[in-house]
Amino acid sequence: MPTLVSFIIVSAALLGIGIYGLSVKRNAIRILFAVELIVNAANLNFVAFSRYMNPPQVTGQVIVFYSIAAAAMEAAVGLALILVAFRLHSTIDVRKLDKLKG
Amino acid sequence: MVAIALEIPPDVTFVILTTITLLAAILALQAKELIYGAVALAISFIGIAGFFVFLDAPYLAMLQIAVYVGAVVVLILFTIMLVRREEVEPVERPEEGESAVGLWVAGLLAVSIAGVAALAGPNLPSSMQPADLPVSELGPVLAGQYPVPLIILALLLSGALLGALVLAKVER
């Protein structure tokens, strides 16, 4: 039977993959992928922790319910922003979208 | 426990799910074509849904597949098709040093979290208590214990979708 620690390790690995994508990738859509992976790592932790409680709880599942809805919103707004950026600058390379840089 | 887990030992199920999820996540970021990356991301989300089933949260697994695979990935695919143009698609080749630094930071973070978890291992619960958490138990907690967050979430959802619509609208 897998322990809680093994779930934490999977979640940490997923977080690491997400952080790598967030810091290295240049394509804005790719960065959105990384954000979604990080959110999923957090969700996995919530469900695992609440399941391993004694007695098992559903509170973690409720939090993940909210989190999934929030992630859907974030994806919709993020993709709309990417579309606008593409329309204005005809690129989605985040290294070139540096108009706000002082 | 799940029906599959009755025949396959849970440890094997766990290892298979871990492999699928992590490999698909890496592929989502490293695939040459963005479209393949989006498909790999969908597979990774399905792996997470498998974990949810494993943890006796079938409702969340359903929600995960419906919202992430059904809505988010499809939205991403549409955006890729709208944005894609051969000359516009940036070459995904970060500078040598940048990639190494990102790998170091991410690796250090993941290893330190996993290390802390492993150190705290003896104090963490190591076995699942047998429990049935039926979907009907989720409703009272959602609507009875946390009604205000639910209403705020609904308002936020409609606000965000309207905002996305306004942002993406083409002025004529």
Closest by Cα among A16, A85, A91, A40 to B112 = A16
Q: What are phi and psi of B13, to 5 degrees?
A: -55, -45
- What pTM was computed for the model? 0.88
Nearest to A49 by CA among A36, A60, A38: A60
Enumerate the residues of chain B whose CB falls inside 8 A of the CB of residue A58.
Answer: 133, 137-138, 141
A17/A23 Cα distance (integer angstroms): 10
Which one is predicted more confidently, B82 or A8?
Answer: A8
* Range from A83-87, B19-23, B92-96 carrying the lowest mean pLDDT: B92-96
Residue B83 is nearest to which of A71, A73, A82, comparing CB atoms? A82
| Smallest Cα distance from B69 to chain A, Å | 11
pLDDT tens column, A40-68: 999 999 999 998 887 888 888 899 999 99
CB-CB: which of A10, A40, A77 is closest to B18? Answer: A10
Taking CB atoms and an 8 Å cutoff, what residues of chain B touch A54? Answer: 125, 129
**pLDDT band for position A76 (50/70/90)?**
very high
Distance CA A12, CA A23 (A): 16
Test mutation, A58, A67, A68, A87, chain B, max B CBs within 10 A: A58
Q: What is the mean pLDDT of residues A21-30?
A: 88
- Contact criterion met (CB below 8 Å) for B31 and B37: yes
A83 min Cα distance to partner chain B (Å) = 7
* Residues in a beta bridge with A27: A93
Model ipTM value:
0.91
Contact between B128 and A51 using a beta-carbon 8 Å cutoff: yes
Size of interface A-B (CB pairs under 8 A): 239
Nearest CB to A27 within list B55, B90, B114:
B90
